[in-house]
Each structure stands twice: as C-alpha cells, then as structure tokens.
Chains A and B, each alone.
Chain A
Amino acid sequence: MNTALSSDIASQLIALLAALMLVVQLLLVVQRMLLTSIRLFALQSLFLAGIAGVVAFFHGAFHVYVVVVLTLIGKVLFLPWLLDRQVRRMRIAQEIEPLVNFPTSMLICGGLTLLGYIVARPFTSLERLGNNTLAVAIALVLTGFFLMINRLKAITQVLALLTVENGVMLAAVALTTYGMPLVVELGIFFDVLVGVMILGILVYRIRETFASMDTSKLSQLKG
C-alpha cells in the first residue's frame, strides 16, 4: 500500500474519531439519565480505543495494541459495568440535577471548545497524525472540568473525572509518536482502575452516612 495514502487515511480516521469523542462529551453535558451517561462514557472510551487502534495499525507498533486491549477491557467494559452495578445496587435516583441549565451549559461548552482550539493552535505543527486532535483533547479536558463543577451527585463527578482522563490520553496519542512507553501506559491504566474502585467505596460510604450523594451537603469544613 502507498504509505502517503495510508497515512492520509489514518489522519482522517483519527480526526473523525476524535470529533466523535467531542460529540459524545457534549451529549454527556446535556444528558439527564445517569445510566445513559455511563453508557456514553463507555462509547467515548470506545472511540479512544479506536484511535489507538488506528495508530497501532498504521505504524505496526505492537505495544499500542496492548493499550487498545487495556482500554477496551478497562474503560469500555469493566468501569462502566462497575459504575452501572453501583448505581443499581444503591438505588440512586436516575435524574441528574445540574447547577446550570442545559442550554446555558451547552453554550459554555461551546465556548470552552473554542478556547481549546485557540490554545492548541501554536502546537498544530507538532501533531503526528490527524488534524486538530490536540484541540479536541484540550476541549475534552476543559469541558470535563465544567462537567465536574456542574454536577452535584458524587458519581457523576467521578464520570466527569474519567472524561478528563480520556482527554489527556487523547493528547498523548496526538502529540507523541506512538503514545507513551508501555510501562507508563500500564501505570496510568491501573491507577485509573484502582482510583475508580476507591472512589466507589467512598461514594458508598458517603451515601450510607449522609443518606444522599449530593456533594453540596459536604460543606461543614470551612476556613
């Protein structure tokens, strides 16, 4: 196969998948149902795994396949299953109450995405594959932060944190040759996995003690 042609296809595929990640993020911002939010996160992780898969295929880099498999097992299957089970077992109310209403949230996230493009512009020459992948990555991080502020339930804040992490991993794919060395990827993977489990324990205890997952009730410590 002609290498110039194949790298062109790879670029377009990556740009498409990155754009889809951003679309899913915006859907998350306006999502009312908790279980659907968890599935959207799984979908976003699937697109991330797809990007890593494209990179692995076109560079023939075997260690990136390991990253693909880890992402699929960890973020697409295991974490959503874990969160889903917790939501069902604790009988958490499905409805998400955001602080800022949905149209305003959407507007703010549009602004944050623009900001991502402005911040990333000086660095577009550094990108290996795909166009504007870095901009999407920064937009994901910024909207993830907004999502975290805008949600009251502890478990939706965990979900927001995970989308920020997806954004950072996208930046790693966008800027470096093949992503990071395998040992680092493994370290990050296990940290995220253990992190979500520990957050799960903490959410459970908060739920038991406060009879609620509303983090705005965590407001006794001041000064």
Chain B
Amino acid sequence: MSVLTLLLVVPAAAGLACLLTRSRRVLAALGVLAFGITLALGVCLLRQVLTGGAVTEWGEFLRADALSAWMVLLISTVSLATSLYAGRYFQRDLAAGAVTPGRVREFFVLTPLFAAGMFLVVLANSLGVMWAAVEATALSSVLLVALYNRRTSLEGAWKYVMLGSLGLALALLGTVFVYAAACKSNPRPLPSFNWSHLMTVAPQLDPRLIRLAFVFVLLGYGTKAGLAPMHTWLPDAHGEAPSPTSAMLSGVSLKVALYALLRFHILTTACLGSGFSGHLLLGLGLLSMFLAAPFILVQENLKRMLAYSSLEHVGLICVGIGLGTPVTIFGALLHMGYHALTKPVLFFAAGNIHQTFHTLEFRLIGHGVLKTLPVTVLCLGLAAVAATGLPPFGLFFSELTVISGGIAAGHTTVSVLVLGALIACFCGMLLQFTRILPGEPKGGRHHDGRAWDGVPAMGLLLGGLLLFSVWLPRPLLAVMQQAAGIIGGKS
C-alpha cells in the first residue's frame, strides 16, 4: 500500500483496535503509535509532492497536492500531541471519578476515527466525497464533546450537532449546484465530480450556478469552520469538550473545514475570474475578528475564552486568503501552522488547571495559579504570548506578513482594521491571564505531585513552535509556497 491509503488505514485501524482492549495504557499507546506513523507518512508525502507534484491513488479517487500535504502535517502533529496528553489526562479523570472506563475507551476509539475523517477530507478528490468526510468528522466528534455527560456538555454537544448538521445540509446543496454546473457544461453521462477535473473545465461552468453554490458552501462549511456569525456553537463545544478534544477541534478541525471551503474558493475564482468569493471570505474574516475581541474581554470561562481566540485566528486566516495576494495567502498558511502548534498547548494547560481547581471560571480559580502549577503555567504563559502575537514566536511573523502584504497590495483600510482587532484581542487575553496567573494562591492550595503532567505533549508543540519560528526548513517553506500558488490560482 502506498502513502495516501496508509494515511487513511492506519488511524482507522488504530481506532477499531481500541475496541478490542480494555487496558488504558494500551489504548493510549495505540493512539500515539498511530499518529507517530501518520506524521512520518506526512513527511514522506511532503517529499513526494515536492519532487513529483500531486500524488494520486485509486484512479484519482485520492489526490494530494501541496495544500493537502500541508494539512496532513498539521492533522498528524496535533493528533499526536493530543494522544500523548490524553493518557495521563484520563488517568487523573478516572481517579477523580469524573468519567467511567467505558467513556475513556470511547474517547480512544473515536479520536483516531475523527482524525481519519479529517485525513479523508484533505485527500479526497471528489467534492461529494469531501462533503461526506466532513460530515463524518462532525459525527465522530459529537460524542467526544458529550463525553462528560454533564448537563452543560450535553447542551454543547446538541448545539454543535444541530448547527453543524444544518450547515452541512446547506453545504451539500452548494455541492449539488456545483455538480449541476458540471453536468450542464458536459452533458456526457455522469461527468467527473473530481476537483482536479472541475478545475480544468472551470471557465466553461455556469457562473450563476457557481456563484449561488459558493454562497451555500460558505454558509455551510463556514459554520463548521466557526466563522462569525455562524460561530455560536464554537464556545459551547470547545468549552464543554474534554481538553484533548477541545485541542483537536480548535487546532485542526476548524482548519479542515476551512480547507473544504478553500477548494470551492479556488474553483469559484477560476470560474468567475473575479474576487467574488475572496471578498466574501474577507468580510466574514474581518467580522469574526471584530466579534472575537469583545467576547474575549468579557469571558468568565477559560476554555470559552480560548474558543473566542480561535475565532479571531480563523478570522485572520480568512482575511489573509480573502486579500488574495501571494504574500497574504502565504501568511495565512503560515498562521494556520503556527496556530495549530499553539492552541492545543493552551487547551492542555487549561485541562490541567481544570483538574486541579475543578472549575474553569476565572473568578473561582482566583489568583496565584503560577505558584500552584508552575510548569503548566510556564507552558501556558509561553503559548499565550505566542497566541497574542508577540515576538519571538511565529504568529507574530505570520500576522505581520498578512498585514504588510495587505498594505503592499493597497488594502490599507483592511490592514489597519486587522491591526486594530489584533490589538484588542491582545489586550483582552493579557487582562484575562493577569487575573489568574500572578499573586498569592488561596489558602491550602499547593502543588500535589502532578507538576509535570502533560509536559511531554506541551513540550513537543512548544519546541516545534520555537524551532519553526526561528528556522523554517526549506521543504516546509517550499510546500507552503506551492500551496499559496494553488490558492492564488497559479498552480
């Protein structure tokens, strides 16, 4: 079997194998092993794409170009860190009686299946299969969000699945319109629904249908990507899911939905030859950034605040792509990568805080988390500095790339607006973290021998973030440039 097939088979097999065992150690080890393999396969795929262009398998059913290869790397990295973290996390949850062993196994079965669904989204060539895969990721993650079975987590899961399903129904309608356009331009029975084929006939497709299709797809996949104003499920689901799942949702799931949207954006731009879809992305991106800022400032719950911060970052990625110059698109892709390395660390640290203080409300956590959980807070602090866009971390450079690229292309107003939203979010995050991190802890709280929990996972991501912030290896740079070329329509 070759790379693309293995990328789908390995996590799916790991998930099913987890059904057979009861040992928590074996469950955790299987997850780590599977995602270690997919990361290696991702690197393999990267090499193949860079040397020989797009890779196809099963008669073009699976297809990976530079953009897919980049997404595969992100999914593998975040999933690997998640399974590294999840073992210890659930051990403590079990000890505290917060979950049953059955639920823990449910987590280890569903998480690899969730990841396999995401791999299928980025590897499927047919837009219809891509839709089915996005739906599969939504379904596999619903029960993960509801894992704790609390009233609030059931509410979060219900909103997630209902809004998600409605959104995806609209996305399916958009997908059907694209296929109708393909049928019209090519009445031969059953034209191909492959993205690569549609791109070759893009100028002949009916522009009215494609325009309508993009609006539906934007609403649909935009809901799944958490773009404002369809983002209302996002803080509920991220806040109520177990921390490892929040990390997966925020770190990659949002970006995978965005990837699906991007495929349609590329097709629409190639068909209409105008900035119609780009302008829509730009508008929604700006709206998301501006909506995130006030909600970060007033948020009382740590994980909900982190969810709004994800909204801000997804908004910035959309703005970068919407501006549509090679520099800003490159900046957006770079931002995707750095955000995938940063956000899971924040959620892992939030998980540690949750398990120590048994709450996520800032008011109830109180001051002095630094003294109670020094190592966790060190990681949290570093990741927070990175997420707010301060140097020396990569997010600073990617944000700068988008803003300066915007100014260079003459979009000064947009760039200034983006800068304003970024500063507002920065102030909000800073204020919120100063509420809990420094100071003297309330009486009777000192660290209880779990200081190093979760450090391997957080260390892996932060190490990667620091390394890639100062030194971007040539293959990564090349793959992002190629991906930016694909999005910019110069493949």
Contacts and interface: CB of A to CB of B under 8 A. Distances in A.
Q: Which of A145, A194, A223 is packed against the most chain B CB atoms within 10 Å?
A: A223
A210 interface: yes
Contacts of B65: none
Nearest to B182: A176
Interface residues of B, number: 52
Interface string A190-217: 1100110011011001100110000100
Interface in B296-316: 298-300, 304
B490 to A, nearest CB: 29
Q: Which of A61, A122, A188 is packed against the most chain B CB atoms within 10 Å?
A: A188
A187 B134 CA distance: 11
26 contacts: A61-B189, A126-B206, A154-B158, A157-B162, A161-B162, A164-B169, A165-B172, A175-B177, A176-B179, A181-B126, A183-B129, A184-B129, A184-B132, A187-B131, A188-B135, A195-B135, A195-B139, A201-B143, A202-B146, A205-B146, A218-B154, A218-B155, A220-B151, A221-B235, A221-B240, A223-B295
Given A178-B189, A181-B128, A191-B139, A206 B165 contact: no
A173 B98 CA distance: 49
Interface string B157-184: 1110110011001001100110110011
Contacts of A172: 176, 179
B196 to A, nearest CB: 15
Interface of B: 61, 126, 128-129, 131-133, 135-136, 139, 142-143, 146, 149-152, 154-159, 161-162, 165-166, 169, 172-173, 176-177, 179-180, 183-184, 187, 189-190, 193, 206, 208-209, 235-236, 239-240, 295, 298-300, 304
A93 to B, nearest CB: 19
* Chain A facing B: main interface SS: helix
Given A180-B179, A181-B128, 7 more contacts: A176-B176, A176-B183, A181-B193, A198-B142, A209-B151, A215-B158, A218-B158
A188 B139 contact: no
A191 B135 contact: yes
Nearest to A218: B155
A2 interface: no
A123 B150 CA distance: 48
A-B pairs with lowest CB-CB distance, top 9? A187-B132, A184-B128, A175-B180, A218-B155, A191-B135, A221-B236, A172-B176, A176-B183, A164-B169
Nearest to B155: A218
A209 B152 contact: no
A219 interface: yes
Contacts of B295: 223
A123 B165 CA distance: 26
Contact of B183 (A165, A175, A198): A175
A194 B139 contact: yes
Nearest to A122: B208
Contact of B184 (A126, A180, A194, A205): A126
Contacts of B150: 209
A129 interface: no
A104 to B, nearest CB: 22
Given A176-B176, A191-B136, A202-B142, A184 B151 contact: no
A188 B126 CA distance: 13
A171 interface: yes
Contacts of B176: 168, 171-172, 175-176, 180
A150 to B, nearest CB: 14
A49 interface: no
Given A168-B169, A172-B176, A180-B193, A206 B129 contact: no
Given A122-B208, A126-B209, A171-B176, A181 B190 contact: yes
Interface in A158-179: 161, 164-165, 168, 171-172, 175-178
A148 interface: yes
A161 B142 contact: no
A34 interface: no
Contacts of A165: 169, 172
A90 to B, nearest CB: 15
B154 A187 contact: no
Contacts of A218: 154-155, 158-159
A183 B157 CA distance: 29
Contacts of B132: 184, 187-188, 190-191
A17 interface: no
A187 B129 contact: yes
Contacts of B183: 175-177
Contact of A220 (B146, B152, B193, B300): B152
A145 B154 contact: no
A171 B162 CA distance: 22
Nearest to A61: B189
B198 to A, nearest CB: 13
A141 interface: yes
Contacts of B152: 220-221
A58 B142 CA distance: 41
Given A202-B161, A220-B151, A177 B189 contact: yes
A173 to B, nearest CB: 9
Q: Which of B128, B149, B209 is packed against the most chain A CB atoms within 10 Å?
A: B128
Contacts of B166: 145, 148, 161, 164
Contact of A187 (B128, B173, B304): B128
A180 B127 CA distance: 11
B176 to A, nearest CB: 5
Contacts of A164: 166, 169
B36 to A, nearest CB: 28
Contacts of B190: 177-178, 181
Contacts of A181: 126, 128, 190, 193
Given A126-B184, A148-B166, A202 B154 contact: yes
Nearest to B298: A223
Contact of B155 (A168, A177, A219): A219
B184 A206 contact: no
Interface string A70-112: 0000000000000000000000000000000000000000000
Contacts of A194: 136, 139
Contact of A183 (B128, B149, B236, B239): B128
A209 B152 CA distance: 10
Contacts of B142: 198, 202
